[in-house]
Amino acid sequence: MSDKLLTASGIEVTYGATRGLLGKPGGGHKVLFGVDIDIRRGETVGIVGESGSGKTTLGRALLRLVNVSAGTIRFDGKDITDIPDAALRPLRRRMQMIFQDPMASLNPRHTIRRILVEPLLLHRLADDARGAERRIAAIFERFMLPTACLDRNPHELSGGQRQRVGIARAALLEPDFVLADEVVSGLDVSTQAQVLNLMKELSRDLGLSMAFISHDLSVIRAVCDRVYVMRHGTVVEHGSCDRVFTAPENAYTRALLDAIPLPRIEPGWLDRVAEA
């Protein structure tokens, strides 16, 4: 078994491409220009770069949520670049995504209970609603979410609670890989720390692989083992967080680092906010 869970090479994505004559792609807006990235089992990888650099597109390409116009994506040893949706379906549970705005991914008309129970039944991770609720109760305790939240609708929760529900929903499905796209961007700093610590704990306990997309270098440094720095649809630098943050080789990485107040990008930042 390879230590790589996810490997992508030469990834290109073009939005709005039409199939021209003879099946050749025509027009469109190319946003990824041959990206290579790999994620090992149990590892948390950061993807950082300014807005519009292609982070979300790359994340969505890894999960096969947007089509790639070139390159290969392998998940757990299997080439998934071109497999049809039906073949992808069994892998969907194993690859979960947590979004910046959980409101957009949680059905506003459903109670939290229904939002969490249904996927467990669908993926047969619980035999019946009672079994599903037992699992949910356990994760609620761990996430310090009050049981009363179960009977509420998403908009009745605080931002931090909603984000924890979004993470709980992903975690309940026992994925191998989680893509977290700007998951703490809308939260205040102490709520950010709570959510980040929860995710660190989860990835450790479940042996999860994670890709952590953020425009915020402090967040990346606090949770990631390795980091990829993106600019204009390419990776300009990658390496261990320790190395990239202390000895960046690329001028753009250095500029990103210089733009952030020093105390925030120290490795102990998260622990300090969490304690405060």
Q: Which does 19 bind (CB under 5 to 8 A by kind): ligand ADP, Mg ion, none?
A: none
Number of residues lying near ligand ADP (CB under 6 A): 12
Which 8-state DSSP code applies to residue 196?
H
CB-based contacts of 14, cutoff 8 Å, min separation 6 = 25, 28, 29, 30, 31, 69
Nearer to ligand ADP, 148 or 259 (CB): 259
CA-based nearest residue to 210, from 66, 49, 40, 1: 40
Which 8-state DSSP code applies to residue 263?
G
Does residue 56 belong to the site contacting Mg ion (CB under 5 A)?
yes
Asked if 114 contacts 169 with a C-beta cutoff of 8 angstroms, the reply is no
Nearer to ligand ADP, 54 or 175 (CB): 54
In total, the chain counts a number of residues equal to 276
Among 18, 51, 85, 262, binds ligand ADP (CB under 6 A): 51
DSSP-assigned letters across all residues of 89-105: HHHHTTEEEE-S-HHHH
Among 46, 54, 160, 166, binds ligand ADP (CB under 6 A): 54
CA distances from 131 to 116, 174, 249 (A): 12, 15, 52
Nearer to ligand ADP, 59 or 102 (CB): 59
Among 11, 31, 187, 222, binds ligand ADP (CB under 6 A): 31
Q: Which does 54 bind (CB under 5 to 8 A by kind): Mg ion, ligand ADP, none?
A: ligand ADP
Which residue blocks in 123-216 are alpha helix, DSSP H? Answer: 129-142, 159-172, 189-206
Q: How far is the CB of 56 from Mg ion (least distance, A)?
A: 3
**Listed ranges 48-56, 133-141, 147-155, 220-228: which one lies at the site for ligand ADP (CB under 6 A):** 48-56
| Sign of the alpha-carbon torsion through 243, 246, 248, 253 | positive
Nearer to ligand ADP, 31 or 68 (CB): 31
What residues are paired with 73 via a beta bridge? Answer: 8
**Listed ranges 52-60, 101-109, 131-139, 217-225: which one lies at the site for ligand ADP (CB under 6 A):** 52-60
Give the residues lining the site for Mg ion (CB under 5 A).
56
Give the residues lining the site for ligand ADP (CB under 6 A).
15-16, 29, 31, 49, 51-57
